[in-house]
Amino acid sequence: MKSTVAIYPGSFDPVTNGHLDLIARGARIFDRLVVAVLQNLDKAPLFSAAERAEMLREVTREWSNVEVDLFDGLLVDYVRRRNAHAILRGIRAISDYEYEFQMALMNRRLEPNVETVFMMPAEKYSYLSSRIVREVAQLGGSIEGLVPPLVVERLKSKVH
């Protein structure tokens, strides 16, 4: 019997409740969901890749079919190495769509056997991004309800 494996890639700097919404829904759809933390050397993330992966492992523990991993380089190369069949991507607004559409078409060109599956987050998370969470936290605003409690504590220790 064939097992359907999907990769949910991202920087997750930090993981938000919007990410967790997609992870929970992706875990119901796919036999296995690999949350792949991008190690992008061109960016200066607030949390290291190892810290982001550790937080994700902690907050995704309830889903037995979810795995957290690190990757760099081309996403399709990582997808091939993991024998995955799909890439899961979230789209919050029309502004996300254009970029995600271009990436999906390029990924299809590079690896025609892998499908990109787009999901919209729950309405209450449609405006939420890691960047906004970081900015609010750095300016001393409340991020309660936007990220898991573990992430609230880690952000407080990083920005204060």
Query: Which tokens in the block code for residue 147?
Result: 């990220």
Tens-binned pLDDT, residue by residue, of the chain (160 aa): 668 999 999 999 999 999 999 999 999 999 999 999 999 767 789 999 999 999 999 999 999 999 999 999 999 999 999 999 999 999 988 778 899 999 999 999 999 999 999 999 999 998 899 999 999 999 999 999 999 999 999 999 988 7
Q: Active-site residues: which are they? A: 19, 43, 92, 130
Which residue spans within 5-50 are E strands per DSSP?
A: 5-10, 32-38
The C-alpha atoms of residue 20 and residue 26 are separated, in whole angstroms, by 10
Distance of CA 104 to the CA centre of its chain: 16
- What pLDDT was estimated at residue 93? 80
- Report how far Cα 149 is from the mean position of its chain's Cα atoms: 18
Contact 99, 63 (CB under 8 A): no
**Structural domain containing residue 22:** 5-126
Question: Is 42 part of a structural domain of the chain?
Answer: yes
Q: Which two tokens stand for residue 45?
A: 């993330």
Q: In sequence order, what DSSP letters do the residues of 1-14 get, joined into one string? A: -PPPEEEEEE--TT
Sign (positive/negative) of CA torsion 99, 105, 106, 110?
Answer: positive
What's the pLDDT score for residue 41?
65
Q: Is residue 35 part of a domain?
A: yes
Structural domain includes residue 140: no
- Is 147 within the bounds of a domain? no
Number of structural domains (the chain) is: 1
- Flag whether 13 is in a domain: yes
CATH of the domain at 121: 3.40.50.620
Q: Which amino acid is at 50?
A: A
